[in-house]
Amino acid sequence: MDIYKHLKQVSIEIPELPKPVASYLPAIVFENQIYVSGQTGTLDQKLVYQGKLGAEVSVLDGKASARLAALNCLAALQAVLGDLNRVERILRVTGYVASAEGFNQQPAVIEGASALLIEVFGEKGWHARSAIGVAELPSSAPIEIELIAALAK
């Protein structure tokens, strides 16, 4: 399956890659894996949602933010690889959720990212995952997603 034809069929657009805000690369290749730096739910360099889940941000908006962060991960993959068809499989997703006291639905929030990756890559999109509640994220982002993918040889 050509990933770009599939993206067009399912009406998914890869956004412009957000610019790093410090001294790091958006993604780095080592051997047959690519490690994507943490991405937040930004569009045009601005956070779409801000705040903590269980306080200012609903689970539904958190899922939307996780989906957008995963799209930004795809933008990083595309920028570094030049071609998303080089992705053999998504191996691992780590999702960080800025959580208000008592909030415990981190897996439901990170599902926004997981569902997108499965929608984009099909069977190759199924992955291992962690959904971690944290006190704060950069710029009051509600979520941050990072991933590791295997590359076709």
- The string of pLDDT tens digits covering residues 3-54 is 999 999 999 999 999 888 889 999 999 999 999 999 999 999 899 999 999 9
Spatial distance between the Cα atoms of 132 and 16, rounded to a whole number of angstroms:
27
pTM recorded for the entire structure: 0.96
3-state secondary structure of 71: helix
- The string of pLDDT tens digits covering residues 43-84 is 998 999 999 999 999 999 999 999 999 999 999 999 999 999
* Residue pair 44/60 in contact by the 8 Å Cβ criterion: no
Q: What is the DSSP letter of 138?
A: G
Pairing of strands 128-134, 46-47: unpaired
3-state secondary structure of 12: coil
3-state secondary structure of 38: strand
71, amino acid identity = L
Question: What domains can be seen in the chain, in order of their start residue?
Answer: 3-12+25-100+111-151 (3.30.1330.40)
- Please give the distance of CA 54 from its chain centroid, rounded to a whole number: 20
